[in-house]
Amino acid sequence: MGTTVLQSGSDVLTDVEGSEQGDLRTEEMLVNMGPQHPATHGVLRVVLRTDGEMVLESVPHIGYLHRCAEKIGENLQPFQYIPYTDRMDYLAGMNNNQAFSIAIEKLVGIEVPLRAQFIRVIFAELNRIASHLVAFGTYGLDMGAFTPFLYAFREREMILDLFESTCGARLTYSYITIGGVHDDLPDRFLEVLDEFLDYFEPKIDEYNQLLSFNHIFVKRTANVGVISADDAVRWALTGPVLRASGVNWDLRKSTPYEIYDRFDFDIPIGLPGGREGVPRSVVVGDSWNRHIVKVWEMRQSCRIIRQAMAQITDGPHIAAKVKNVKLPDDEVYVEIENPRGQLGFYVRGDGSSIPARVKVRGPSFCNISVLNHVGKGCLLADIPAIVGSIDIVMGECDR
């Protein structure tokens, strides 16, 4: 009777039949993680089949936050549906508003004023920073570091103040709407934003010193849950998860929507250890890379915002007559780059003002589906590291 042990530092399972432990018999155990668990980022449930400390199978179960968003989409007019998109990926409400708005604009053929597009880009990128800050902070929590969470939320509150001054809401904005944005920017907004960016950009280095290059953190995340580039594409992973695997793919760059082609920015991708200050134990596609790509993306978002602030023009902030639009008998599928990956909206019209079908392709939904594939053979304590680095939001995973 042989047992299986994990060779240190690799995922290779070795049979040690005939060795000293050869007569040791271990029972497999089912561990139920979630839906109420602090490290599952919401109500994800993972059923783990474990052999001692080793995970043989990790099956994610979702649906504990299934809020019928698609059924609601078939019963409301598009502009009424905008608030529901906020509540899908509730950490990135602006990006969700933007995705659905672009889908409807493309379907109906609405031209968005230039100023509105600039405002959209500014807010989408600000929301990306806010979302990555939460990801950064809660990943620290998952790894046992409480302080980065407080730092991240301190800066996030400043971004939320900017949002609040513009649209009055902290979390569910409904600000980006069909045909443009709901209101024009408030007075002195760009000055306050400039002050914030001046304050924020040096903080990114502080975060890295605090968490990303922390020795314990690197030990917990480096070479854990490695996803190869090929696997990432086959499992349709997108966003930071895909880029951490070394695939240079960002919809803002590769198929630019809105006015992203006007800006100059880089796409951070996962790096192997030893280069550009990356810890030696890191490999492309591991949890550490998935974490650091998000931190690097925050800096790129700052660059985009600065360029958008310099280039912004005067003009109307919303196209005329956008409510009660009749949707043509046609269908559209639009994807944009959400903080978590490519958020897709499929909208099908039937000639009336209410869509016949709305389907949401949630990036978290696709990203978490790879968990069983990645989690095979890792240690039990690595599962929170993997789940946290994939950075899911159950609201859009279950919709």
Please, which of residues 313-372 interact with another protein by CB under 8 A?
330-333, 335, 342, 344, 346, 348, 357, 359, 361, 365-366, 369
Pinpoint the alpha helices (H) of the chain.
69-73, 78-86, 93-108, 114-142, 147-167, 189-207, 215-221, 229-234, 240-244, 251-254, 287-311, 363-368, 371-375, 382-390, 394-398
Q: List binders of another protein among 186-245 (CB under 8 A).
A: 229-230, 233-236
The CA distances from residue 336 to 236, 291, 333, in Å, are 14, 21, 10
| The only residue of 43, 46, 112, 271 in contact with another protein, by rule CB under 8 A | 43
Q: Strand, coil or helix: what is 101? A: helix
Which is nearer to another protein, 18 or 146 (by Cβ)? 146
170 binds another protein (CB under 8 A): yes
Q: Please state, in angstroms and rounded to a whole number, the distance separating the CA atoms of residues 239 and 192.
A: 29
| The only residue of 70, 183, 201, 258 in contact with another protein, by rule CB under 8 A | 70
| The length of the chain, given as a count of residues | 399
Stretch that binds another protein, among 8-16, 59-67, 111-119, 196-204 (CB under 8 A): 59-67
Q: How far is the CB of 387 from another protein (least distance, A)?
A: 15
| The only residue of 24, 29, 150, 216 in contact with another protein, by rule CB under 8 A | 150
Structure tokens of 295?
Answer: 């931190």
Which is nearer to another protein, 51 or 398 (by Cβ)? 398
Q: How far is the CB of 23 from another protein (least distance, A)?
A: 36
47 binds another protein (CB under 8 A): no
Q: List binders of another protein among 124-143 (CB under 8 A).
A: 134, 137-138
Q: Please state, in angstroms and rounded to a whole number, the distance separating the CA atoms of residues 378 and 382.
A: 6
Q: How far is the CB of 259 from another protein (least distance, A)?
A: 19
Structure tokens of 377?
Answer: 């053979």
Q: List binders of another protein among 380-399 (CB under 8 A).
A: 394-395, 398-399
Element (H, E) at 55: strand 54-61
87 binds another protein (CB under 8 A): yes
The CA distances from residue 343 to 50, 73, 334, in Å, are 33, 16, 8
Residues 332/106, Cβ–Cβ less than 8 Å: yes
Stretch that binds another protein, among 82-90, 189-197, 199-207, 381-389 (CB under 8 A): 82-90
